[in-house]
Structure 1
Amino acid sequence: TAEWLYKISKREITEKRKPVIRPDKTPQDMKKIQEFILSGFPDIDNYRAKQLLSYFQTLEKIFNAPIEAITNVQGIGDKIAEKIKEILKYKYE
């Protein structure tokens, strides 16, 4: 709707970031599934997900990597790397 588009564009302007839009269906091919999983993290869009996967090759390596290694990836700074680690270590209760 027009109202929804207005809110997204307003947020994009005020927060200076692009909205993350995820597909309705879970992808079927393994590459797309990996990108889908990573793009579910805050501030990880599809571009950053692809950058991380190109650098580390597997989700396991990304998830086990220290923050310093994650920040070696183009487009990933300390803040995003720390958020990834925080989410991975957070105890679900």
Structure 2
Amino acid sequence: MVDVTRLTFQIDAEGPQLTVKGRMAWALHELVHAGERGCTPIERPAPRWSDYIFKLRKAGLAIDTVDEAHGGAYSGSHGRYVPRSPVLVIEEVRR
């Protein structure tokens, strides 16, 4: 797991600089690096993906949720989070 603890970014090149910390910084880092394929809680386990996405959307990011089915003993569905806003990372602080 990448230990990103703070991430400063802009939405588009002209937007204001925003900073997120902790798990929101980690989630945004994962989304930016996943790009168009997006990420799921199955691929990148974390306890509260839906909350991180909710807060990032509230900060102004466009993030789609695509429902995907999965099989196995506990078959069902999960969300794939796909970033749609162009994000320019200005500073990334790691442990």
Same fold (TM over 0.5): no
Q: Which has the higher strand share?
A: 2
Q: Which has the higher helix share?
A: 1
Where relative contact order (Cα < 8 A, 6+ residues apart) is larger, the structure is 2
Based on CA coordinates, which of the two structures has the bigger radius of gyration?
1
TM-score, normalization: structure 1?
Answer: 0.31
TM-score, normalization: structure 2?
Answer: 0.31
